[in-house]
Structure 1
Amino acid sequence: MRASLLFLPALLLLGSANPLPAASPADALAPGGFRWLEEGAGDGPLYMVISIDRQMVHVYRGDRLIGQARVSTGTKGHRTPTGQFPILQKRQWHRSNLYSNAPMPFMQRLTWDGIALHAGHDPGYPASHGCIRLPYAFARQLFALTRIGTPVEVTTNRLNPALLLDPLVLGDPGHSVVTFTPANSATPRGNAMPPPAETDNGVPMLEVDPAIFGLRFVRY
């Protein structure tokens, strides 16, 4: 049985030799603030993770954090939904069909019922009707990087990617996805997985089945 993935970039990161940086107080930005990290440029799929509690977005390329910005999400009565969303539509100059023709520069649609990324005012707290407002200059540069289908994950608090598997993967008893292996083990097991790298303290490491990396499609 051939399996599919819900959020392919997240799985790719677990197999990377370069661990992702965790969010920390050092990443704090003022409302409307953003930064692009030149040292984060590299190969790999582009995707982003948005935290409602932290009012932040992290943009990744492959296993590298390449940008971060403050955002303003939906208010209590118009909450921004959490989940995984591909970018469905992009319009550089767009106006809201729902809210008084309000301008939505660099709009990137996440749902067909009105949730999108776009440039807008950030007062330092949730203030939108459900959309995710971005700093203007950040939204412009992000718009140039993304494509239709670029994955966007909206979470409650997390800014790091996570492993999410399609039920077809978990339901296939003959397909090993990941295995925890002692660091001193040198014998591949299961579907010919390579031995994990050595560690100084013998902490178990996560192996990812190489067959997973051969998948070329994403299921939403």
Structure 2
Amino acid sequence: MNRLVALRLAPPTLLAALLAACATTPTKVAEAPRPAPVAQLPYEWTSGQAPKATQQAKAQFGSLALKPGQYLWAASIPDAPAKVVIDRLQQLMFVYKGDTLVGVSTISSGKKGKETPLGYWKVFRKQVKGFSRKYDNAPMPYMQMYDEMGIAFHGGALPGYPASHGCVRLPIEFAKKLYPLTAMGTEVVIEG
């Protein structure tokens, strides 16, 4: 209230100066710099393809209530490039030929501390009778390597939960069916 009284009693020239000062265009304050985007390493990247694959699989095959070691395979396979989508959360692999889903399988991905890396990859090495260089020459039948650190998907034991040292284990028969469908450069998307 005292300020209001003082302004009323102030000489008109002072009031005019105060009003003029308040009426000037404010100077622009520079925005705080935005942090640079974090590099999207393959280990952090996901693309949202696994939820779409799950919806397609349910529409095509019905229920996805598969027990460890079970898989579903389409009756006919189109002639198109293959793509693999792996969902670590659901412990499932989806196989496409072009845009057509041709197979769904249970998997066992990397256990805690040895998690299967997320990301976008490409198959760069294939062997029907593969062996692990890191883990005592452990067999990796129908091995398809996609990570330069030696991580691959291959036939192996499926206990129903993540249990590998980083690889994606598949039922042997599924790995055998998948092997001829892929080629060097086949896309591999890992999410979850």
Into which bin does the TM-score normalised by the smaller protein fall?
0.5 to 0.7
2:103 is aligned to: 67
Question: What does the per-residue CA deviation read over 1:27-66, in whole Å, with 9 as the maximum and x for residues that have no partner?
Answer: 2211000121115x22432101000000000101112110
Q: Does the Cα contact within 8 Å between 1:71 and 1:134 map onto a contact in 2?
A: yes
1:21 CA drift (Å)? 4.7
For 1:104, give the aligned amino acid: M
1:38 to 56, 64, 75: 75
Rounded to whole Å, the distance in 2 between the matches of 1:95 and 1:36 is: 26
Matched, 1:28 2:62: no
> One-letter code of the match for 2:165?
H
Aligned equivalent of 1:163: none
Partner of 2:182: 146
**What is the alpha-carbon distance in structure 2 between the residues aligned to residue 44 and residue 21 of structure 1?**
21
CA 1:80/1:20 → structure 2, altered by over 3 Å: closer, same or farther? closer
2:151 equivalent to 1:115: yes
- SS of the equivalent of 1:127 reads coil
- Pairs within 5 Å for 1:25-174: 26-39=63-76, 41-156=77-192
Given that residues 120 and 188 in structure 2 are in contact (C-alpha distance below 8 angstroms), is that contact kept between their aligned partners in structure 1?
yes
Residues 117-167 of structure 1 deviation map (CA, whole Å, 9 limit, x = unaligned): 1100000000000000000011011111111101110011xxxxxxxxxxx
CA contact (8 A) 2:92 2:104 kept: yes
Q: What SS does structure 1 have at the residue aligned with 2:120? A: strand
Normalising by structure 1, report the TM-score.
0.59
Larger Rg: 1 or 2?
A: 2
The 3-state SS of whatever aligns with 1:107 is strand
Could you report, residue by residue, the CA deviation over 1:47-94 in whole angstroms, capped at 9, with x for unpaired residues? Answer: 010000000001011121101100000001100001111001001111
1:99 aligned counterpart, secondary structure = coil
With normalisation by structure 2, the TM-score equals 0.68
- Aligned residue pair count: 138
